[in-house]
Structure 1
Amino acid sequence: MSMAVVGMITGMALGFAGYFGGFGAFLLVAALGATGFVAGRLVEGDLDPGDFFRGRGRDDDRRR
C-alpha cells in the first residue's frame, strides 16, 4: 500500500474521530496512530530503539 493511501486513511480516521467524538477523541486517535506507526517501524527494522535513548553529546560525534 502506498504512503498516499495510508495518509488518506489516517486522515479519514482522524476526521471521523474529530467529527463524531470531539477534540479528545481526535487526540486519542492521533496518539494511538503515532504509537502504532513507531511500533510498526520497530518491527520492520527501519527504526532502532537506541535512537530514542541516545544522547546528542560529544560521544555521537566520535562514532561517525
Structure 2
Amino acid sequence: MTTSSLGLIAGLLLGVAAAAGGFTGFLVALILGAVGYLIGGHRDGEFDLGALLRGRGRG
C-alpha cells in the first residue's frame, strides 16, 4: 500500500468521523480524502506540492 493510498484512507476516515452524515459530511470527507491523497502522493514523490502551491514569478 502506497503512502498516497494510506493518506486517502486516513483522510476519508477522519472526514466521516468529523462530520456525521448528510451532504455536508460527504463534502468534508471528500475534501479531507483529497488532502490526504495529496500529502501521501507528495511523500511518495508522485508529484511536487511546492510547484502547485508556489505562485508564478513576476515577469
Q: TM-score under structure 2 normalisation?
A: 0.54
- 2:38 and 2:49 map into 1 onto residues whose CA distance is 10
- AA aligned to 1:55 is R
CA distance in 2, matches of 1:27, 1:56: 33
Higher relative contact order (CA 8 A, sep 6+): 2
Q: After the TM superposition, which residues 1-64 of structure 1 pair with which residues of structure 2 at under 5 Å, given as runs?
A: 21-52=21-52, 53-55=54-56
Q: Pick the structure with more helix per residue.
A: 1
Aligned length: 44
Q: Structure 1 regions of 5+ residues with no counterpart?
A: 60-64
Which runs of at least 4 in structure 1 moved beyond 6 Å after TM superposition? none
Give the deviation of 1:46 after TM superposition.
1.0
* Percent identity of equivalent pairs: 32
RMSD across aligned C-alpha pairs, in angstroms?
A: 3.0
Q: What residue ranges of structure 2 are gaps of 5+ in the alignment?
A: none
* TM-score, normalised by the number of residues in structure 1: 0.51
Structure 2 SS opposite 1:55: coil
Rg larger for: 1
